[in-house]
Amino acid sequence: MKGTFMLLRLSIAIGFLCLTGTTAYCQATSPPRGTAPVNGPQHLAKADIKYASRQSLDKGVTLAKLSSGLTVIVQENHAAPVATVRCYVVNTGSAYEGEHMGAGLSHMLEHLVAGGTTTIRPEKEIRGLIDTMGGRTNAYTSNDITAFYIDCPADKVPLAIELIAQNMQHSVIPEDEYLREMGVVQRELEKGEQERRRVLYNRMKQLVYQVHPMQHPTIGYLPVVQDVAREDVIDFYRDRYVPQNMIFVVTGDVKTDAVLDDVLSNFKDFRRTTERGVTLPVEPEQASPRSIRVEMEGPTTHISVAWPTVPLQDPDLYPLDVAAYLLTHGDSARLTKRLKIDQPLATSVSSASYTPGFVKGWFQITAECAPENTEKVLRIILEEVEKLQTTDAEPAELAKVKRQKAAAHVRSQQTVQDQAEMLASSYRSTGDPLFDDQYVSGIQTVTPEQVRAVANKYFLPQRLNTVTIDPLGSGAKQTGSRKNDLAESDILRKEFPNGLTVLLKRHSVVPLVSVQAFVKGGALSDTNETSGLASLACQLMSRGTKKYTGQQISEYFDSIGGSLSVGSQRNSSFLRASMLADDFENSLDYIQQVLVQPTFPQDEFDRVREITLRRIAARAANPQSEILDFWAAKLPKTSAYHRTVMGTTETVSRLALEDCRKFHANYFVPNNMVIAIFGDIDVEATSNRLESMFGTLPRSKDFAWPKFAKNPLLPKTEFEHLTNQKQNTGMVLLSYPSVSIYQQKQRAALEVLSAILTGGSGAGGRLHEELRGAKLVYYVFGFQITGFAPGYYNFLSQTRPEAIGEVVARIEANLKKISEEGIPQAEFDKAKDKLIAAHAMQNTTPGSQAFQAAIDELYGLGYDYDRGYDERISAVTVADVVEVVRTYFRHGLVVTTSPETPPQLGAKP
């Protein structure tokens, strides 16, 4: 990975970023910094703030700077009527907190500035405005930045600019908001201590950095955070939230001149101050190996090794990134092949070169495996590192990695959000918003000799850092430029005589093609005795076909920078593939082979089943996975939702290879299949090609899809508890039998109910405000689990063990209140407006559009069913929502997990 801009995207997956999870913005009092104090000198006229510079760059990008020091970057992208508005504050983040190091002040400010009261508007009004505009808002903090954003329809950009500008200049930080968010941050800290990936990341930082403040966690240390006073937070806001520390980015369906005018108008009184920040110490060279071992709940071991390397500006950045791709990018990569394909020793393996712009970074390799395989896995990792030092990469292997990097660069520009992040991170790290393009060019110049040279220069035994997480109690040791205008067609639907349905659409914003094939058949088609069969069979389909071996398939897609995966979920099984447009024709042959001609090799079956069993066991380490699996186990055995997608250890252990072959023969038949291909394609030519490849397949005379009975409503509320060892963590799931996808009126009413209680597509709503405001939960969500069979509506929340009973009672009380009192019309209308506006922001890429069209067609709803979403939501009335609450939410199944049984859970007055 390259620089902080690439690290930013990756680190979401490893817990690097601390998201507020709020639906609107918030922060601290004071007039804009840089204005004269009331009693200050008045004899000098203040110069007007104006644009000091403006540059037009490639790719529709404009870089401008106000005389106050505030940087503005605008990129026009008219592919869809959406935009994102973002502000990045430098000289913040956990490495830049000076005397408050370890207190997480930047992260605390993120929570408070992102949606809180300003001198212009109270918090409630701000949240109402964002809900009305349909904006999706959030914020995050990392080691060296705090970022705030609103994703919104393009016509709401002026309002989004205004709201963020007010947060940056006029936040008040009232006492009640400070106390509330302090509680939320402490819950977030407790949650992070139970997440292996975040623990792994923070422990590695503490090893690599002994002097540099990069060593400190973004969120801070709990005892230090608890000592933070409101005045400390306000002082930090006044000190660091100044114009020269801000980068304001707007990308999307906008006009540059209008955006620049709006930014200037909203920051015209925000004056430059003296420079604010800290001088960071230099990390000394590491002289000897360092290691740390941690025990956490979960059956697997995580092992991570790392070596200090270079900052972003060092030219060794390029060969180091190539080395990371050589090791683990794709199934044919060196370490992936040895640890997951040749021998099923690890359930996952990854590598990355982290190169921030403000400090030397590190090169890291991480694997997850069974504890008894740890030594073998570590030995193989070090063997492959040694090969990097002694053997040059083959030309074909190096060419594959370069192609993968070019493809990744194209993919990273698909959405306006991706583009904004890339522009901002490139600029703040290098001063060039388009450095990412230069980076890809730099990758293409890397030679085998350079890769070998950096491996010998940095991967030294005395500089090795090792972090191990064992189970509790184990006691163990740029491609060419593209036009900005959109070339897009309507969806073509065609059904072949054998029953196969194809959906084709030209969508050439970027030169990518997405292929998605779906069949009915997932956990719903399994039985209680064969639970996990669909998932296991699908994983095997790409492991060998009549024409290609599994290795040839993985090497091909790796070599073109593409991807192919086969999987299964509750209602369907699927193949999903993505590739550059130039590679589409050749890729179709591999896709046809995987869908139609898999051979299910015995040795691959043994490997995949073993890995699946380990993954099933590892689910218990994640609080959400654990409670969802426990919930499924407590449903009636006659319920289609009693079975989990992956199955159980017992059922998967009993599966045989012939079971997988039968599943494929029964379900991957043309009259049960929908293939959607969206992207930079010739629609007519693609249709002809598909008909020649798939149109002659025989229709299955035996295929039949069952009908599913209604869910019986519960006569009384039932309670189930699972005792675990997750300290300070309590999970709550309230489950109510509800409807299938075909009961459209009730489904729409349930969506509106979800928006009212838990924010719908984003955090918010009555329960979010009440439970987070009372410092009872870290999060609370409401969601439907449904499909062909009538499903369930669930509430899921993470809290403290001692608060489980109160969380359950408050959720039930909110449902009762709606049942008895209804919903105020203004609140109801706002919830519907929010859902409709949020829906307009979805499905803007070829892949997401293909997915939605294919799955709706498979369900029998029609490929254009999603277009009627606004109408279905608009038709919902208050009476409809009250009716679904009274009908389906009288009695539910309450499932909880914690280290001890909650006292009096289920006791009724």
318-327 per-residue burial string, b: 16 or more CB within 10 A, e: under 16: bbbbbbbbbb
pLDDT at 484: 38
Which whole number is the average pLDDT over 670-698?
95
Q: What is the DSSP string of 390-459?
A: HSPPPHHHHHHHHHHHHHHHHHTTSSHHHHHHHHHHHHHHHS-TTHHHHHHHHHHT--HHHHHHHHHHH-
- Side-chain half-sphere CA neighbours of 798 within 13 A: 22
Strand partners, 290: 465
- Give the mean pLDDT of 408-429: 91
Where is 677: in which H helix or E strand? strand 673-679
pLDDT for 80: 87
User: Do residues 872 and 751 make contact, with C-beta atoms less than 8 angstroms apart?
Assistant: no
Tell me the C-alpha distance between 547 and 542, whole Å: 11
pLDDT at 905: 63
* Residue 596 tokens, joined: 């139609």
723-767 tens-digit pLDDT: 999 999 999 999 999 999 999 999 999 999 999 999 886 668 999
Residue located via tokens 């990129």: 75
Q: Give me the mean pLDDT over the 509-527 stretch.
A: 94
**Residue 642 carries which DSSP code?**
S
Starting at the edge strand found earlier in the chain, the sheet holding 893-898 runs: 718-723, 893-898, 730-737, 792-799, 777-785
Between 829 and 8, the more confident residue is 829
Quick one: how far is CA 459 from the chain centroid?
31
pLDDT surpassing 70 at residue 487: no
pLDDT band at 215 (very low <50, low <70, confident <90, very high): very high
E-strand ranges in 549-665 read 563-568, 572-580
> Residue 483: pLDDT above 80?
no
Task: Give dist(CA 284, CA 209) in Å, integer.
Answer: 9
User: What is the DSSP annotation of 111-178?
Assistant: HHHTT--BSSS-HHHHHHHHHHHT-EEEEEE-SS-EEEEEEEEGGGHHHHHHHHHHHHHHBB--HHHH
Per-residue pLDDT tens for 575-602? 999 999 999 999 999 999 999 999 999 9
Q: How far apart are CA 534 and CA 540, in angstroms?
A: 10
| Average pLDDT for 779-795 | 95
Of 899, 892, 894, nearest in space to 730 by CA:
899
* 3-class DSSP assignment, residue 231: helix
Q: According to the model, what pLDDT value does residue 589 have?
A: 96
Residues 6 or more apart from 584 whose CB is under 8 A from it?
513, 679, 680, 681
Contacts of 257 (CB under 8 A, 6+ apart): none
**pLDDT score at 158:** 97
**DSSP code per residue over 824-886:** -HHHHHHHHHHHHHHHHTS--SHHHHHHHHHHHHHHTS-TTGGGGHHHHHHT--HHHHHHHHH
Instruction: Give the number of other Cβ atoms within 10 Å of residue 531's Cβ.
Output: 23
**Tokens at residue 414, please?**
């698909």
State pLDDT tens for residues 67-123.
Answer: 999 999 999 999 889 999 999 999 999 999 999 999 999 999 999 999 899 999 999
User: What is the tens place of the pLDDT at every residue in 38-53?
Assistant: 333 444 567 899 999 9
Q: pLDDT tens across 430-446, in order?
A: 999 999 888 989 999 99
Angle (CA) 261-265-270 rounded to 5° is 130
- What is the b/e burial string over 182-200, where b = at least 16 CB atoms within 10 angstroms of the residue's CB? bbbbbbbbbbbbbbbbbbb
The Cα 252–Cα 136 span in angstroms is 15
Cβ partners under 8 Å of residue 238, min gap 6: 28, 30, 33
Please, where are the H alpha helices in 432-575?
A: 435-444, 448-458, 533-540, 550-559
Question: Which residues contact residue 205 at a Cβ distance below 8 angstroms, ignoring those fewer than 6 apart?
Answer: 214, 215, 216, 217
Distances from the Cα of 711 to the Cα of 28, 634, 640, 677, 835, angstroms = 50, 15, 10, 36, 27
Each residue of 600-630: pLDDT tens digit? 999 999 999 999 999 999 999 999 999 999 9
Q: What share of the chain is helix, strand, coil (3-state, %, to 5)?
A: 45, 20, 35
CB 215 within 8 A of CB 209: yes
Say if residue 29 is exposed, middle or buried (CB neighbours under 10 Å; 0-12, 13-18, 19+): middle
Helix (H) or strand (E) holding 887: helix 878-888
Q: How far apart are CA 105 and CA 205, in angstroms?
A: 19
CA distances from 35 to 30, 117, 262, 273, 854 (A): 10, 21, 20, 9, 56
Query: What pLDDT band is residue 277 in, cutting at 50, 70 and 90?
Result: confident
Does 529 have pLDDT greater than 50? yes
- Give the dihedral of Cα atoms 451, 455, 456, 461; nearest 10 deg: -170
The bridge status of strand 501-506 relative to strand 362-369 is unpaired
The per-residue pLDDT for 5 is 33
pLDDT at position 333 over 90: yes
Cβ within 8 Å of residue 122, ≥6 positions away = none
Q: Quick one: which of 787, 788, 765, 757 has its CA closest to 884?
A: 757
Give Cβ neighbours of residue 45 (< 8 Å, ≥ 6 apart). none
Average pLDDT, the chain: 90
Split at pLDDT 50, 70, 90, the class of 564 is very high
Contact 237/27 with Cβ under 8 angstroms? yes
Q: How many angstroms separate the CA atoms of 616 and 606, rounded?
A: 16
535 confidence band (pLDDT: 50, 70, 90): very high
Number of helices (H) and strands (E), helices first, in the chain?
A: 31, 24
Assigned token pair, 828: 């109801």
Q: What is the pLDDT confidence band of residue 468, given thresholds at 50, 70 and 90?
A: very high
- Report the DSSP pairing between strands 71-76 and 246-252: parallel
